[in-house]
Amino acid sequence: MNETSPIPPRFLTKRELKSLLGALIREYRAYGPVDSDGVPAFSALTSSAELRFDLSPTHLSAREFLLPSKETLLKFDLTESGPGVVITPVVEAQPQVIIGLKPCDINGMALMDSVMAAGVRDVNYLKRRAATIIVGVECLPDETCFCASLGTERAESGFDLFVHLLPTRGVLVRIGTEAGAKILKKYAWGRKAVKAEIVKLEEHYELKLGAFKARLNALPEELPGVLAASDESPVWQSIGSICTGCGACNHVCPTCYCFDVSDELSSDLKSAERLRVWDGCTLDDFTLVAGGHNFRKSRAERLRHRFNRKFNYGSERFDSLFCVGCGRCSRTCLVDINITEVTNAIIKEVKESRG
């Protein structure tokens, strides 16, 4: 989370890259993409040989390493005599490295950083983020990726190191922070990249832009207005009628940050914990309040809200959309609700209504 460093890209041989990754895995709690029984997934790493940079995006994002699906916020000691209860805040932030983040996920993490630093700062998230080294890696899209439509197919910041695989014997490594520069100097400094190697990066981006199959039919800056004009669209009823309300789209999204808080009492009544757990706006009881009232009763209303959360509501406060085009929700949906198809249907409807 330091300022971007002006250090130009470095060239590393495959051996030097292996040395760098091996050192990071030895010295930090390390996570990265692996092949888990044929499924791309983030996993704890014990060796660089486990890493797979050639996989499609993992089904779950890396959000869980900064905002765990379940974590203890407070501990209560109920055994002390006298008035009051002894309350101890719990903030766990061990040094860790996340290796192999794709550009969409790096951009998603930057959005999460903004949210957690706004207003009352989320100490748990921010301390964990400050203790995290990010090593990005370049990618090619699959059939559900649409990050090029949102300008998130490239990562210009938000990482410490970023690895570009070259069609030769080595890689280019971009340095994003001073912390990244120190790590590279310590373990595998390599040499300064030459012009021909840097040109290969632009060739890769041209190839990448031509490879996208999923695209939105509107510019990113048009989307907040499109969604704001879609409240009465029949599209919401159409997808609401098949949605199971399982919450999978919330669970896999790299920019969902809603949570619930509960207190759990130990069986001996001597202690308790306050827990934070992920929640999701597509779940039936998300807007259920006292008295059994629910101000978004139908799944159509909840899906409309979710799409607005991704393409509309955050644009005013954070000057950004909250979808990064990773396609995870489309891959995961049990009834094949596809985010690009739904959004394009809304775009078409609104543009036609405007003549």
Percent of the chain at pLDDT exceeding 90 = 84
Structure tokens at 74: 């407070």
Number of residues that make up the chain: 355
For 58-112, what is each residue's pLDDT tens digit? 999 999 999 999 999 999 998 876 667 899 999 999 999 999 999 999 999 999 9
Q: In the chain, where do the E strands start and end?
A: 10-13, 29-36, 39-44, 70-77, 86-89, 96-101, 132-137, 161-165, 170-175, 191-192, 259-265, 271-278, 288-289, 293-294
Whole-angstrom distance, CA of residue 153 vs CA of residue 145: 9
pLDDT at position 82 is: 66
Of 337, 331, 343, the closest CA to residue 145 belongs to: 331
- Quick check: 3 pLDDT over 50? no
Q: What is the CA radius of gyration of the chain?
A: 22
The residue ranges of every structural domain in the chain are: 10-210, 220-353
What lies within 8 Å, CB to CB, of 253 at 6+ separation is: 61, 63, 328, 329
For 328-341, what is each residue's pLDDT tens digit? 999 999 999 999 99
pLDDT at position 1 is: 47
Structure tokens at 56: 């499609």
* 161-165 β-sheet, strand order: 39-44, 29-36, 96-101, 132-137, 161-165, 170-175, 10-13, 191-192
For 8-58, what is each residue's pLDDT tens digit? 899 999 999 999 999 999 999 999 999 999 889 999 999 999 999 988 889
Helical pair 178-187 and 14-27, crossing angle rounded to 10 deg: 110
Burial class of 169 by CB neighbour count within 10 A (0 to 12, 13 to 18, 19+)? exposed
Structure tokens at 339: 């985010």
Whole-angstrom distance, CA of residue 255 vs CA of residue 108: 6
Give yes or no for a contact between 46 and 24, defined as CB atoms under 8 angstroms apart.
no
Whole-angstrom distance, CA of residue 56 vs CA of residue 245: 26
Of 17, 257, 313, 311, the closest CA to residue 129 belongs to: 257
Predicted TM-score (pTM) of this structure: 0.93
For 258-302, what is each residue's pLDDT tens digit? 999 999 999 999 999 999 999 999 999 999 999 989 989 999 999
- Quick check: 179 pLDDT over 90? yes
